[in-house]
Amino acid sequence: MATSFENLLYDLDAASGILTITLNRPTKLNALNAATIDELGQAIDQARADAAVRGILLTGSGEKAFVAGADIAELASLDGPGAQDAAARGQAVFRRFETSPKPVVAAVNGFALGGGCELAMACHLRVASDNARFGQPEVNLGLLPGYGGTQRLVQLVGKGKALELLLTADQIKADEALRLGLANHVVPQGELISFCKALLSKIISKAPVAIGLTIDCVNNFFDEGGAAGFTAEAAAFGQAFDTADFKEGTAAFLEKRPAVFKGN
């Protein structure tokens, strides 16, 4: 029996076998809160178990944002251990997208920042609309990525560029994401969903078992020692929450003013 969701739309086209999961918090630019991450976990588990689902398209509602980041007000209420646990839970959910034997394509229809960029990177392929923006702005808040961003960005764009993007918090446009390998394709906003469905249709026309095994083998290339990196990221995420800089960074964000960091 299909699960109903509060923050997601779950739409399976039975004829094609393509499931569209849409993050649906438009007034929050689809920001990730704990409830939405839990629903993403339920949705991917349901999709993986459903034989009628052949491929998955993940996108955001509206034309402004795929996911504009985490819900900062909710994050600000956590302490260090709670933040570490939240990071580990988010990593586990995103990992279920990454390890899905059914191909997952992210249709990045606007801002993919922070947790949104991390979610897109957990998908097998990323297609960006021409107005998309990617970035990991966590250091602006006295934080670092907690849902796998320090690990997957390196895999996709290389160590040097990943460190530049992580340390500067710069946002990059879709064409730069394409050049770096963060995006597979860039298309006009109005063609994004149809392009992604055509790409998924091409993939799922191949042998399903072979597709799943190929995804598993590619993931295995990065998995040796990778678990330690994710564990270290979650621990560092929690550690950052116990700093005065984090409290200042989130307060400045919510108060819409520049942060003044003191390094403690």
So which residues are the catalytic ones? 118, 138
Partners of 127 in the beta sheet? 107, 185
**What amino acid occupies position 214?**
T
Give the span between the Cα atoms of 224 and 124, in whole angstroms: 19
Give the span between the Cα atoms of 20 and 219, in whole angstroms: 23
CB 132, CB 177: distance < 8 Å: yes
Residue 1 is encoded by which pair of tokens? Answer: 């029996």
Partners of 128 in the beta sheet? 108, 186
DSSP 39-81: HHHHHHHHHHH-TT--EEEEEESTTTEEE--B-HHHHTT--HH
Give the count of beta carbons closer than 10 Å to the beta carbon of residue 188.
10
117-140: b (≥16 Cβ within 10 Å) or e? bbbbbbbbbbbbbebbbbbbbbbb
